[in-house]
Amino acid sequence: MPIITHEIFIQAPITVCFDLARNVDIHTKTTAKTKERAVAGVTTGLMGKGDSVTWEATHLGVKQKLTAKIIEMEKPFQFIDVMVKGAFHSFTHTHEFIEKENGTIMIDRFVYRSPLGLLGKIADKLFLEKYMRQFIVNRAIELKKIAEHKKT
């Protein structure tokens, strides 16, 4: 089961970073490369504990839908979302925020299990883990740009 961890320092208050990370509209902006859009559940604004969203996006050349639900939230330090329905066998995405002088450390921890048993494990090794890592890193970089521009 691959575990992807990414940490980034953002020169913005913890509350700004936390709210941007759980904002559906901002998620759409930070994932523009995959044309993500919310098509069901919470489709705009901030998500809270118990909320779910269905995303439609193009990943690896295939248009897909994925539904995720926030199962835990401790404002403004952490929230956890899990896949309810989608292409993975399962995933858990922990978003953690640590307040530091002059900003916030944002940590993404993405734990997933591919479908298709052995074929999924081979796909992980060949391309999927690298693809998912780059997706998470790119989204964090875009969120950082927005947060550092906003800073309020």
Mean pLDDT of 14-22: 97
End-to-end CA distance of the chain: 38
Whether the bond between 13 and the residue before it is cis, its omega within 30 degrees of 0, is no
pLDDT, one tens digit per residue, over 20-71 is 999 999 999 999 999 999 999 999 999 999 999 999 999 988 899 999 999 9
pLDDT score of 151: 55
pTM of the model: 0.93
- Residue 1 pLDDT > 90, yes or no? no
Residue of 151, 138, 108 whose CA lies nearest to 4: 108
Q: Domain 3-150 belongs to what topology?
A: Alpha-D-Glucose-1,6-Bisphosphate; Chain A, domain 4 (3.30.530)
- Residue 152 pLDDT > 70, yes or no? no
How far is Cα 66 from Cα 56, in angstroms, rounded to an integer? Answer: 7
How far is Cα 77 from Cα 73, in angstroms, rounded to an integer? Answer: 8
pLDDT, one tens digit per residue, over 105-145 is 999 999 999 988 888 888 899 999 999 999 999 999 999 99
- Here the tokens at position 140 are 């964090």
Domain ranges, ordered by start, for the chain: 3-150
pLDDT score of 120: 83
Instruction: Provide the edge-to-edge strand list for the sheet that holds 3-10.
Output: 3-10, 103-113, 90-100, 78-85, 62-74, 52-59, 37-41
